[in-house]
A and B are shown apart, each in its own frame.
Chain A
Amino acid sequence: MHSEVAVSSEDIRVLTSQLAADPSSLVFLPLGEALRRRGQLDAAQKVAIAGLTRYPDLADAHDLLARVLGDRGDLERAFDEWDIALRLDPGHAGSHKGIGFLYFVAGDLQQALDHLEAARAANPEEDGLDAAIARVRESIAAGGQAAGSAPGPGALPADAAREDEQASRMPEPAAGGRSVPSLFEGLEGADDGLLLLDAKGLRLAGGLKDPGGTQVGDAVAAHLAGVFKDASRAVRLLGLGAWRSVAAESADANFYLAAPTTETLLLLSRDPGVPIGRLARLADRAAETARAWLEGPA
């Protein structure tokens, strides 16, 4: 897992002494990274969080925490931290690399490529980026057959077994690199407006585009996890029994949320001309499809 340059305990001791001598210094960054490389993730996380308390607007600090969280398997929070880093510094190479990796794991090869290329543009000399980019391009060209395989060494820090397990649950991208939600193929709106996510806010299948045509499924999935949690909490505390659906109408779209299983959420989005009642029917069909896939053979 930790294939980078070896870090000695002497290195840790020196960096710790420097931090102790000046707690406000930025030495927490190399110290946190050194601890992470040695697998001391608890300590690395504490150092990163302590550093962020002093430097909440430092993209490098968010990047450090994201790497630690990524090593711990908390990909959702890792994504959040890299997202923050990029808001603070849109050209931050490490964060583009990290988020690119997460998109690769999730099967969104185009997003992965975009971020890796941004990382290379910000840091052309970094070893391994060319290889990672070439790998993603190969995957796209091959119709996504290699999607979900662990990136090569030197590309990104990750747990290979976890990537394979997650990626194996992704519908395969179609030939030509276009990510098609084949799970919902044949259903109305399969390409856009049907989104399946897990309780942690990770997209499992489907997609959603904004009015400009940009895929926003992952971002929407992340926010919908909070809706899932809030709806469950509301019905529990108010004694309303299990929740069945959340419908929302806006000026330019209607949304319908249902839970195919206790750990997943399905979103349907249509033009406001499609009434909510009809969305409910469509959601029933899509939920059946989702359940069959989720509960089917691994």
Chain B
Amino acid sequence: MRVIEPWVAEPLQRFLTESSARLALLMTASGQVVAQHGFTRALDVMSASALGAAIVASTEELARQMGAGPFRALSHQGQTQGLFLSAFAVPRARWIVLVVYDSDSSLGLVQLFFDQLVRELQAAAPDGEAPREVLAADFETELNASLRSLFGR
């Protein structure tokens, strides 16, 4: 798991342990990554965050045009894996979580522990300035630096 904001680490780790999610991505509403778990390539992280933010934005626009209230969450179920996407508020910001789970978990479990994750993030978020936004390129640089160091360079 990699996090940009240290206070995110514990709640996210608890969520991952309890829900048995395979992949998790925490991002700002504009698609900038705050934390991720399970992704092995920076490119995948950047793509997923951009797509996730776009899906949430378009779903919210759809809801607005329908005159419905904001959708709480979005989920897709595939043959072997499921996807869960939801936006939520933290102090002075709006974040999105994207979760991929398989048969080790379920939509119900992900939703259950997502609610807990949101409560914990809202409680742990520091007061004052908005959470630091990060360029996705920072993640790629960090991941590349890690790979280089692991090869003994």
Number of chain B residues close to chain A: CB under 8 A: 9
Main secondary structure of the interface of A (DSSP, over half): helix
- Pick the contact of A46: B18, B44, B150 (CB < 8 A): B150
The docked-state distance in angstroms from the alpha carbon of A226 to that of B147 is: 33
Mask, A14-26, CB within 8 Å of B = 1, is: 0010000000000
- Pick the contact of B150: A43, A226, A233 (CB < 8 A): A43
The interface residues of chain A lying within 8 Å CB-to-CB of B40 are: 46, 49-50, 53
Whether B128 sits at the interface, judged by CB under 8 Å, is: no
The docked-state distance in angstroms from the alpha carbon of A246 to that of B135 is: 49
Main secondary structure of the interface of B (DSSP, over half): loop
The interface residues of chain A lying within 8 Å CB-to-CB of B18 are: 233
- Pick the contact of A12: B41, B44, B104, B152 (CB < 8 A): B152
Contact B151 A12 (CB under 8 A): yes
Whether A8 sits at the interface, judged by CB under 8 Å, is: no
The docked-state distance in angstroms from the alpha carbon of A42 to that of B151 is: 9
Contact A42 B150 (CB under 8 A): yes
Whether A166 sits at the interface, judged by CB under 8 Å, is: no
The interface residues of chain A lying within 8 Å CB-to-CB of B44 are: 53
The docked-state distance in angstroms from the alpha carbon of A277 to that of B152 is: 60
The interface residues of chain A lying within 8 Å CB-to-CB of B151 are: 12, 16, 43
The smallest beta-carbon distance between B116 and chain A, in angstroms, is 9
The docked-state distance in angstroms from the alpha carbon of A40 to that of B44 is: 25
The docked-state distance in angstroms from the alpha carbon of A36 to that of B152 is: 13
Which residues in chain A, 4-61, are within 8 Å of chain B measured between CB atoms?
A: 9, 12, 16, 40, 42-43, 46, 49-50, 53
For B44, the closest partner residue in chain A by CB is: A53
For A229, the closest partner residue in chain B by CB is: B20
Contact A50 B41 (CB under 8 A): yes
Number of chain A residues close to chain B: CB under 8 A: 12
The interface residues of chain B lying within 8 Å CB-to-CB of A9 are: 152
The interface residues of chain B lying within 8 Å CB-to-CB of A46 are: 40, 147, 150
Which residues in chain B, 1-29, are within 8 Å of chain A measured between CB atoms?
A: 18
The interface residues of chain B lying within 8 Å CB-to-CB of A53 are: 40-41, 44
The docked-state distance in angstroms from the alpha carbon of A164 to that of B39 is: 36
The smallest beta-carbon distance between B91 and chain A, in angstroms, is 27
The docked-state distance in angstroms from the alpha carbon of A87 to that of B40 is: 24
- Pick the contact of A40: B41, B104, B147, B152 (CB < 8 A): B152
The smallest beta-carbon distance between B34 and chain A, in angstroms, is 22
Mask, B110-153, CB within 8 Å of A = 1, is: 00000000000000000000000000000000000001001110
The docked-state distance in angstroms from the alpha carbon of A42 to that of B147 is: 10
The docked-state distance in angstroms from the alpha carbon of A226 to that of B109 is: 14
The interface residues of chain B lying within 8 Å CB-to-CB of A233 are: 18
The docked-state distance in angstroms from the alpha carbon of A219 to that of B152 is: 39
The docked-state distance in angstroms from the alpha carbon of A296 to that of B32 is: 55
9 further interface pairs, Cβ-Cβ under 8 Å (given A9-B152, A16-B151): A12-B152, A40-B150, A43-B151, A46-B40, A49-B40, A50-B41, A53-B41, A226-B104, A233-B18
Chain B residues with a Cβ under 8 A of chain A: 18, 40-41, 44, 104, 147, 150-152
Chain A residues with a Cβ under 8 A of chain B: 9, 12, 16, 40, 42-43, 46, 49-50, 53, 226, 233
What would be 21 A-B contacts, judged by CB atoms less than 8 Å apart?
A9-B152, A12-B151, A12-B152, A16-B151, A40-B150, A40-B152, A42-B150, A43-B150, A43-B151, A43-B152, A46-B40, A46-B147, A46-B150, A49-B40, A50-B40, A50-B41, A53-B40, A53-B41, A53-B44, A226-B104, A233-B18
Closest 8 CB pairs of A and B: A43-B150, A53-B40, A50-B40, A49-B40, A16-B151, A42-B150, A43-B151, A46-B150
